[in-house]
Amino acid sequence: MTAVYASVDDLRRAARGYLPRMVFDFVDGGAEREITLRANLADFEPLRFSPRVLTDVSAVELGTTLLGEPIALPLAIAPMGLCGLVRPEGELALARAAKAAGIPMVLSTAASHALESVMDAAPGNLSFQLYIFRDREFAKSLVQRARAAGYRALVVTVDLTRGGKREKDIHNGFTVPPRFTRRTAMDLLRHPAWLARMAPHRKQTLGNLVDWGGRDKSVVALSTFMNTQIDPGISWADLEWLRGEWDLPLVVKGILHPDDARQALALGADAIIVSNHGGRQLDGAPSSISALPRIADAVGNATEIILDSGVRRGADMLKALALGARACMIGKAALYGLGADGEAGVARVLTILRQEFDVAMALSGNQRAAAVRPDTLLP
């Protein structure tokens, strides 16, 4: 019997069944008490639409533009590391599904697959996400590789000056280095479908980083090395430096304060991403949707704002657009799809969000995603 997936929540349930707990928790969990993780979802709920009727919504335009490029839906797939642990094809499947749906994807520095392979698999609207490592020459080489491979924009993530404390990962031994116990072995054995699919792909790596560090290219060795390369000293001067190294659109990811948004623009950023990293970093940080209005007030006319963290519904997308975002990104929702059914599961997530967004647009009386009525929400 084929599963019926009516909502992203349905795909989450399926992914939970398929994935070992350590992998599911890595995807699904947040930092510390998960206050911010929960707020990301909960803070969408009290927002109420103020629907208008008789506006002729026979041809709602879901497409818009982002950074000058047409996109079929105001949505993108967010950068995520280690997607090869969910399904071996990992980011290749995410990129193919994004391309088929006509939306962009941002590839993580910490992706399982190399940026060149992902571009080969799905040549199209791909951007590259960069962590500014202590080794600036290596960071620069990644930027140059992304440029040479045809990546459209550079997304620099600025909210990871330490790794957030994710307690589920600690309990599961999903740490660097990993801690294998009887419990983790049992966890893997209880998920034979995942084990069988992973068995030929045991040699996981971090595709963008294989030429770096020591000779050991395993995911554990490279993750260990990458952790030592996280630079807590990054500052606005580094953004200026990066601006000089990259002549295409530059986007800053991880903004939660209006003054930081202004500063990023002053230093030449072309867009900003309002994000708390999906609740995986500072627990107690505001939900993205609650931080958005102040930031949109400060810079909304001067730039494009992308919102991520907590988007699970087409209605969430519309709420974000009504509060000043140009588009949203999904992280976990895409990985639920990948876990549930590989590339087809990601495609299903994108279809669900597209249909829900279309319904929310029409029933709220909106005709164009590029021009959502500002009074779409009750004050």
Region binding ligand FNR by CB under 6 A among candidate stretches 67-75, 117-125, 229-237, 330-338: 330-338
Region binding ligand FNR by CB under 6 A among candidate stretches 274-282, 316-324, 343-351, 360-368: 274-282
The answer to the question of residue 78 lying near ligand FNR (CB under 6 A) is yes
Strands 154-157, 126-130: pairing is parallel
Residues between 278 and 297 that touch ligand FNR (CB under 6 A): 278, 280
Residues between 119 and 158 that touch ligand FNR (CB under 6 A): 129, 157
Asked if residues 146 and 138 have their Cβ atoms less than 8 Å apart, the reply is: no
Q: Is residue 171 annotated as a catalytic residue, yes or no?
A: no
Instruction: Classify residue 235 as left (phi > 0), alpha (psi -120 to 50) or beta.
Output: beta
The answer to the question of residue 311 lying near ligand FNR (CB under 6 A) is yes
Residue 344's alpha-carbon distances to 11, 227, 243, 259, in angstroms, are 11, 33, 37, 41
Q: How far is the CB of 108 from ligand FNR (least distance, A)?
A: 4
Contacts with 334 (C-beta within 8 Å, 6 or more apart), sequence order: 77, 78, 80, 94, 97, 346, 349
Q: How far is the CB of 51 from ligand FNR (least distance, A)?
A: 26
Beta strands in 72-125 (DSSP E): 75-77, 105-107
Residue with token string 């990811």: 253
Region binding ligand FNR by CB under 6 A among candidate stretches 56-64, 242-250, 309-317, 353-361: 309-317
Residue 134's alpha-carbon distances to 49, 66, 139, 234, in angstroms, are 46, 31, 8, 9
The answer to the question of residue 91 lying near ligand FNR (CB under 6 A) is no
The answer to the question of residue 308 lying near ligand FNR (CB under 6 A) is yes
Q: How far is the CB of 272 from ligand FNR (least distance, A)?
A: 13
Q: Which residues are catalytic?
A: 277
Q: Contact residues for ligand FNR (CB under 6 A)?
A: 26-27, 40, 78-81, 108, 110, 129, 157, 253, 275, 277-278, 280, 308-311, 330-333
